[in-house]
Amino acid sequence: MNEIKTKVLVVEDEEPIRRFITLNLSAAGYEIGEADTGEKALAMLGSFRPEVIVLDLMLPGIDGFEVCRQVREKMPETFVIMLTAKGQDTDKIVGLELGADDYMVKPFNPVELTARVKAMLRRRTRFRADRDVLTCDDLLLDLSANKFFKNHHEIELTPTEFALLKMFLENQGRALERNEMLNAIWGENYYGEPKTLDVHIRRLREKLEDNPSEPEYIKTVWGRGYRWQPGVRGRTP
Ligand code: CA
């Protein structure tokens, strides 16, 4: 069976350090690409397509900062772990927010580096799952985390409100029939009080509308049900 290995690009001009790193990462099961200059690293992005880049900051020619900047532009999903020499202002590096995901100060234990790479890849898996979101203007419904945000503030929703909002955001602009909503949220053949729907809608409006008595998003469609008005503010989450 051909196992697909995760690709790690090691960019380091000092050969002994590069070898030290690559030996450890190979032993951990990663497929390794090597570059001893920033130029070579950038040239390898498209062909090698690394998922992680171990990037020395001080390189001849194009330095690690510039490589990192270009990686962020061209391959934003790639993880970058920056290597810095002792004495360099690491706090400043982090503060610069140059887009590195992590950094290590030389001299470091390559076993520790391998552990960091593994941790990053675990985080990536979560990060991708977290992208399962529905949005409208500054409203964001995070389906994986089961959270709702309005203008970056989390607002608690009950599971029913959550399900209703999900249905609205998946059907923006479309009139949803009362029965359709009751069946979708409370199950087929719902025999309960249909007013239940209106109560939940009212609560949902109170939570997400600026003015619940004059809702901008959840519109009443008389005699039928409700409709979500998409993008009224033009703001993004
Ligand atoms: Ca160097």
What local confidence, expressed as pLDDT, does residue 95 receive?
Answer: 39
Task: Indicate the range of 81-85, 92-96, 168-172 predicted with least confidence.
Answer: 92-96
Q: For residue 26, how far is its CA from the centre of ligand 1 (angstroms)?
A: 21
State in Å: Cα 226 to ligand 1 middle. Answer: 62
> How much distance in Å is there from the Cα of 237 to the middle of ligand 1?
40
Q: What is the pLDDT of residue 214?
A: 94
CA of 71 to the centre of ligand 1 (A): 18
Which residues have beta carbons under 5 A from ligand 1 (an ion)? Answer: 13, 56, 58
b/e map of 83-93 (b: 16 or more CB within 10 Å)?
bbeeeeebeeb
> How much distance in Å is there from the Cα of 227 to the middle of ligand 1?
59
Q: Determine the distance separating the centroid of ligand 1 and the alpha carbon of 69, expressed in angstroms.
A: 17
Distance 92 CA to ligand 1 centre (A): 18
How many Å lie between the centroid of ligand 1 and the Cα of residue 77? 24
Residue of higher predicted confidence among 118 and 3: 118
Choose among 184, 165, 182: nearest CA to 224.
182
Q: What is the pLDDT of residues 62-85, one digit of tens each?
A: 989 889 889 888 887 788 888 887
CB 102 within 8 A of CB 116: yes
Q: Is residue 55 within 8 Å of 41, Cβ to Cβ?
A: yes
Per-residue pLDDT at 5 exceeds 50:
yes
Lowest mean pLDDT among 48-57, 86-95, 102-111, 217-226: 86-95
Structure confidence at residue 1 (pLDDT): 46
- Strand order of the β-sheet with 31-35 is 31-35, 7-11, 52-56, 79-85, 102-106
| Confidence grade of residue 41 (pLDDT, cut at 50, 70, 90) | very high
- Listed ranges 38-52, 111-125, 144-158; the one with the highest mean pLDDT: 38-52
Rounding to the nearest 10 degrees, give the CA dihedral for residues 210, 213, 217, 220: 170
Q: How far is the CA of 56 from the centre of ligand 1 (A)?
A: 6
Q: What is the pLDDT of residues 184-225, one digit of tens each?
A: 887 766 666 677 788 889 989 999 999 999 999 999 999 899
The yes-or-no verdict on residue 16 having pLDDT over 80 is yes
Most confident among 13-22, 64-73, 142-151, 192-201 (mean pLDDT):
13-22
Interval 107-135 mean pLDDT: 76
d(CA 198, CA 182): 10
Residue 12 near residue 18, CB atoms below 8 Å: yes
Sketch out the chain's domains with CATH numbers. 7-125 (3.40.50.2300), 130-228 (1.10.10.10)
DSSP letter at 151 equals: T
- Dump pLDDT digits (tens) for 157-167: 887 788 899 99
- Centre of ligand 1 to C-alpha 75, Å, is 23
Distance from the CA of 78 to the center of ligand 1, in angstroms?
21
Q: Which residue has the higher pLDDT, 220 or 127?
A: 220
